[in-house]
Amino acid sequence: MAKGFLSIVLHAHLPFVRHPEHEEYLEERWLFEAISETYIPLLEQFHRLNEEGIDFRITISLSPPLISMLTDTLLQDRYISYLSKMIDLCDREVERTKYQSDFNNLAILYKNKYQNDFNSFVNKYEKNLINAFSELQKSGKVEIITCAATHGFLPLLNLTPESVKAQILVAVQTFEKYLGCKPKGMWLPECGYIPEVENYLHECGVNYILIESHGVLFANPRPVYGTFAPIVSRKGIVSFGRDIESSKQVWSAEVGYPGDHDYRDFYRDIGHDLDFSYINPYILSDGKRINTGIKYYRITGKTQHKLPYNPAIASLKTEQHASDFLSNRLKHIDFLENNMDKPPLFVCPYDAELFGHWWYEGPEWLYNLFKKLDKIPDELQSITPSEYINQYPLIQVASPCSSSWGANGYNEVWLNKSNDWIYSHLHKAAKEMVEIANDNPNAEGLLKEALNQAARELLLAQSSDWAFIMKADTMVDYAKKRTNDHLSRFTKIYYDIKENNLDQEWLKGIQWKDNIFPDIDYRVYKRNP
C-alpha cells in the first residue's frame, strides 16, 4: 500500500464567448488559444501515458460553458480557420527566420505543432474534444467532473436560492448529456463554498467538492487531519481541501516552477514584436496588436534582454521540477506518517489553462510527474477523489467554512467597488425569473421558448468571469457589455411575458446568439417548496 496519495485536479473553464453576429471576435480567440495550448496538449500527454502503459489518475473539471463551446459547430469551424491562419503565419515565420537558426528551429517547431493540432482536431478527435475526454474517462485513469452551469459565484447568488439550484442542476444535466453519466464531483466556481450549495449537490447525486484550504481547516469541528484527508458534512457531501505546499510550488510568484528562467516567456510574442505591416494580417482587423502564440524567448530573468527559448533545456527542466515536486511530497509523507493513522492525501487543484497556455511546458511537467510517480507505487500514488472515498470511506464529519480561492479567501474579488453594482440587478432578475417560472408552470410553444431563453440570459449574466474582469480592470467594457446585454435581454423577455406581448422575431435572434443549454427547462427556477 502507498504511504501517501496525490490527487491532481485541473479545472478547465472559459466564459461563454461565442459571437456568431461577428465574423471575428477577440474573445473567441481565448477558446482557440486554450484548445491549441492547453486542451490538445493535455489530451496528447494523457494518450502518451496510456500508450506507454503508465498507470496514472487525474481529475478534470469541464465547465458547462466550455463543454458548450467545444461541441458548437460554429466555433469548431472557426477554430479550424484559426489553425489555418496560424499555419500560414508559421510558414512565413520559417521563411523570415531562415538565417537565424535559433528562431528558425522554433518557427519550424511551431509550424509542426499547429499542423499537428489541425490533424488531431480534424481527424483524430473529429472536431469534438469532449468526446476525446469522455473516451479517456472510460479508461478509468481520468475522472471528469462538472462545475456550475455558467460558473456563477454561488456565495453571491444565494439571495435567491433558486439561482444556486439552477446553476447546479443545469450543470449536472449538461454533463449527463455530453459525458453520458452523472458527475461524481463538482468544482465549485472559484472554489466558492457556502453550506447552502450542499442541498442541491445532494439532490443531484454529486458526492464531492473541491474547496480552498481554509474551507477545510476552519471547518466545524476542526478536522483532525487538516487538509490531508477530506471531511464529510451532515448532508453527506465530501469536501477535499487544497494542499497549501503543493499549491505554492506551482502558483507562487517567487518560487513557482512556471517562473523558471529556462521556460518560455509568455509576454514576448511576435504579435507585439514584429513590424506592423508584416504582422497586420494576423492581428485584429482593427489593427490592434494581440498575442499570436508565436513566442521565441525564454523568461531569462528580471531583464528586458531575453535569450532565445531552447525547448530541449526547458524539457529537461520539466523532469527536474517533476522530481522536485515528488521529493517534497515524499518529505511531507515522512513527517506526516507518524502523525496520521492513514496515508495522507495531497489535493492539488489548478486551473487547467495554467498548463500549456500560461506555463507552456506544464503538460510535459504533468507527463513527467506521472511517469516518475509510476515508479514509486509503494511511496506515493495518484488517485481521484472518488477512488479515495472508496478506499478510505471512514471520514470525519465536519461542516466546511464559507470560503473561496480568490484573493484573501472569501468574496471580495467578486464583490468590491468595481463590480458590486451588478448584484442588485442580478438578484432582481433572479427573483423575476422565479416569479415567471411559477406563474407559468406548464408553458408551451412561444411562451415556453421565451421562458427558456430568459433562463439562459440570467445564467449567462451570472458568470463569475464578468465580475472578475471588472475587478481586474482590463477589458472591463466587454464584461460590462455582457452583463448589460444578458440582463437587458432577460428584462425584455420578462416584461414581454408579463404584458403578454412576445416578440417572436427578436426572440429568434437572441436564441441564435445565446444558444447555450439548448435543452434547458425554465422550471428549474420554480420556487423551492
Partner 1 sequence: MNSEYSLMKDSFPVKNTKDQIWIVPKDPYILYVYFEISSETHSTFESIFGYYLWESSHLFLKISNLSTNTSQYLKIAPDSNNLYINIDQPNKVIRVEIGKMISNEFFIPFAGSNVVSMPNNNIIRDQSIHFENVLENKNIDKNVNTDLIYDKFKFNEVSQYLAPSSVNMFMNMEKINKD
Q: Which of residues 381-440 bind partner 1 (CB under 8 A)?
A: 389-390, 393-397, 401-403, 405-413, 415-416, 420, 423-425, 427-428
Q: Does 42 bind partner 1 (CB under 8 A)?
A: no
- CA-atom Rg of the chain in angstroms: 24
Q: Tell me whether residue 49 or residue 352 sits nearer to partner 1 (CB atom).
A: 352
Taking the complex as a whole, the smallest distance from the CB of residue 431 to partner 1 amounts, in Å, to 10
> DSSP 3-state assignment of 344?
coil
Q: Tell me whether residue 29 or residue 111 sits nearer to partner 1 (CB atom).
A: 29
DSSP state string for 145-167 = EEE-TT-B-GGGTTTSHHHHHHH
Q: Does 256 bind partner 1 (CB under 8 A)?
A: yes
Q: Tell me whether residue 104 or residue 291 sits nearer to partner 1 (CB atom).
A: 291
DSSP state string for 435-484 = HHHHH-TT--HHHHHHHHHHHHHHHHHTBHHHHHHHHHTSSHHHHHHHHH
Q: Does 159 bind partner 1 (CB under 8 A)?
A: yes
Taking the complex as a whole, the smallest distance from the CB of residue 199 to partner 1 amounts, in Å, to 15
At residue 62, what is the residue type? L
Cα–Cα–Cα angle for 111, 114, 120, rounded to 5 degrees: 135
Q: Does 253 bind partner 1 (CB under 8 A)?
A: yes
Q: Tell me whether residue 392 or residue 523 sits nearer to partner 1 (CB atom).
A: 392
Q: Does 286 bind partner 1 (CB under 8 A)?
A: no
Cα–Cα–Cα angle for 125, 130, 135, rounded to 5 degrees: 75
E-state strands within 207-325: 208-211, 231-232, 238-241
Q: Tell me whether residue 74 or residue 255 sits nearer to partner 1 (CB atom).
A: 255
* Residues 6 or more apart in contact with residue 498 via CB below 8 angstroms: 436
Identify the sign of the CA torsion 41, 44, 49, 52.
Answer: negative
* Residues 6 or more apart in contact with residue 65 via CB below 8 angstroms: 13, 14, 15, 16, 150, 151, 463, 516
Query: Site residues for partner 1, window 287-326 (CB under 8 A)?
Result: 291, 299, 301-302
* Residues 6 or more apart in contact with residue 346 via CB below 8 angstroms: 4, 5, 6, 7, 228, 243, 245, 246, 329, 332
Cα–Cα–Cα angle for 250, 254, 258, rounded to 5 degrees: 40
Spatial contact of 235 and 243, defined as CB atoms under 8 Å apart: no
Taking the complex as a whole, the smallest distance from the CB of residue 480 to partner 1 amounts, in Å, to 7
Task: Output the nine-digit C-alpha cell for 358.
Answer: 500560461
Query: Site residues for partner 1, window 458-477 (CB under 8 A)?
Result: 464-465, 468-469, 472-475
The C-alpha torsion from 499 through 505 and 506 to 512, rounded to 10°, is 130
Taking the complex as a whole, the smallest distance from the CB of residue 492 to partner 1 amounts, in Å, to 4
Q: Does 444 bind partner 1 (CB under 8 A)?
A: no
Listed ranges 101-109, 116-124, 444-452, 484-492: which one lies at the site for partner 1 (CB under 8 A): 484-492
Which letter does DSSP use for residue 527 in this model?
A: P
Which position among 3, 480, 523, 526 is part of the footprint of partner 1 (CB under 8 A)? Answer: 480
Dist CA 259 CA 514 (whole Å):
38
Q: Tell me whether residue 138 or residue 222 sits nearer to partner 1 (CB atom).
A: 222
Which position among 442, 499, 500, 519 is part of the footprint of partner 1 (CB under 8 A)? Answer: 499
Taking residues 101 to 140 in sequence order and writing x for each that binds partner 1 by CB under 8 A, - otherwise, the string is ----------------------------------------
Taking the complex as a whole, the smallest distance from the CB of residue 302 to partner 1 amounts, in Å, to 5
Taking the complex as a whole, the smallest distance from the CB of residue 258 to partner 1 amounts, in Å, to 4
Which position among 81, 84, 506, 508 is part of the footprint of partner 1 (CB under 8 A)? Answer: 506
Residue count at the site for partner 1 (CB under 8 A)?
108
Query: Site residues for partner 1, window 173-202 (CB under 8 A)?
Result: 190
Q: Does 205 bind partner 1 (CB under 8 A)?
A: no
Q: Tell me whether residue 118 or residue 410 sits nearer to partner 1 (CB atom).
A: 410
Q: Tell me whether residue 103 or residue 228 sits nearer to partner 1 (CB atom).
A: 228
Q: Which of 282, 284, 268, 360 is CA-nearest to residue 91? A: 282
Q: Tell me whether residue 330 or residue 354 sits nearer to partner 1 (CB atom).
A: 354
Taking residues 211 to 240 in sequence order and writing x for each that binds partner 1 by CB under 8 A, - otherwise, the string is -xxx--xxxxxx-xxxxx---x---x-x--
Dist CA 49 CA 462 (whole Å):
38
Taking the complex as a whole, the smallest distance from the CB of residue 99 to partner 1 amounts, in Å, to 30
Q: Tell me whether residue 118 or residue 358 sits nearer to partner 1 (CB atom).
A: 358
Dist CA 291 CA 272 (whole Å):
7
Taking the complex as a whole, the smallest distance from the CB of residue 190 to partner 1 amounts, in Å, to 7
Which position among 6, 34, 144, 274 is part of the footprint of partner 1 (CB under 8 A)? Answer: 34
At residue 143, what is the residue type? E
> DSSP 3-state assignment of 39?
helix
User: Which residue has cell 467578486?
Assistant: 414
Query: Site residues for partner 1, window 329-358 (CB under 8 A)?
Result: 335-336, 339-341, 350-354, 357-358
